[in-house]
Amino acid sequence: MRKLLLSAVWVIAISVCPSLAAAHSNGSSSLTPEQVQVYADFIDSFTQTGFRVLLNRTFPLSLTVVAKDAECLQGIHLETVGKSGEGGHLLGPEVLRNHSIRIIGEQDESPVLKRQEKGAATVSTNSGGNGSGTLTDPGILALSGILFDTSHHFAVIKYVFLCGTHCNSGGILVLEKFENRWSVKGRPCDGSVFINATNPLSMGRPTP
């Protein structure tokens, strides 16, 4: 009888609040309009890098590699990580603004990376090893959760380009809001930028 009662309560909860059921099933919370704008403005600016694939799930933002007195954080009072900056959000078409970018899940990541590594090897071979070859696609873009300051004039985000075993790159940026748009220019965090990292998402990557 108790099991039947609990089942009935859960069915009622699902019918009353479908968004709660969705969050329970995929382990993700929905984005606020402000978060959507931050991601959309960021992607807008980063399309200049030539990336064509976006990972659909964010990962938790960790600032352990950024010194407390880092220049990028000067004068900024950040909210607590529990309030913003968490991971587990799903990114959808709303952050793309009609850009020709493919959104993939983690299950599709490995095949894309294999093609990326194959392309890198082809470029290296064609250049004769002299460094003249160039990759127009930096890899799969993965984005962290967003950490706002208390005034919501600044937003901290980590980006990672996944392109294979030894060519991953990324860093942490502080975005500033100018005239209702989030700018990616001006505040990279020293010490957070990396190239050729083996496990760029090992710190705080969400569990599939």
* Residues 78 and 168 occupy one common structural domain: yes
* Residues 99 and 166 occupy one common structural domain: yes
Residue 102: both structure tokens together: 């493919």
* Residues 119 and 177 occupy one common structural domain: yes
What CA–CA distance (Å, rounded) separates 78 from 76? 6
SS3 string of 128-174? CCCCCCCCCCCCEEEEECCEEECCCCEEEEEEEEECCCCCEEEEEEE
* Residues 1 and 83 occupy one common structural domain: no
Domain annotation covers residue 206: no
* Residues 17 and 57 occupy one common structural domain: no
Split into its structural domains, the chain has a count of: 2
Q: Is the backbone of residue 99 left (phi > 0), alpha (psi -120 to 50) or beta?
A: beta
Beta carbons of 135 and 125 less than 8 angstroms apart: no
Taking residue 202's Cβ as centre, other Cβ atoms within 10 Å add up to 9
Domain annotation covers residue 123: yes
Domain annotation covers residue 208: no
Give residue-wise pLDDT tens across range 55-67: 999 999 988 889 8
Give residue-wise pLDDT tens across range 84-115: 556 579 999 999 999 999 999 988 888 888 77
* Residues 7 and 55 occupy one common structural domain: no
Is the pLDDT at 164 greater than 50? The verdict is yes
* Residues 21 and 41 occupy one common structural domain: no
* Residues 56 and 131 occupy one common structural domain: yes
Place of tokens 């799969």: 140
Name the band, by pLDDT with cuts 50, 70 and 90, for residue 8.
Answer: very low
* Residues 19 and 95 occupy one common structural domain: no
Domain range enclosing 35: 31-197
Is the pLDDT at 128 greater than 70? The verdict is no
* Residues 85 and 6 occupy one common structural domain: no
* Residues 13 and 63 occupy one common structural domain: no
Window from 11-20, 88-97, 187-196 with minimum mean pLDDT: 11-20
- CA-CA distances (angstroms) from residue 150 to 37, 83, 175? 17, 10, 14
Domain annotation covers residue 202: no
Mean pLDDT of all residues in 160-171: 81
Domain annotation covers residue 204: no
Q: Is residue 19 packed enough to be buried (19+ CB in 10 Å), middle (13-18) or exposed (0-12)?
A: exposed
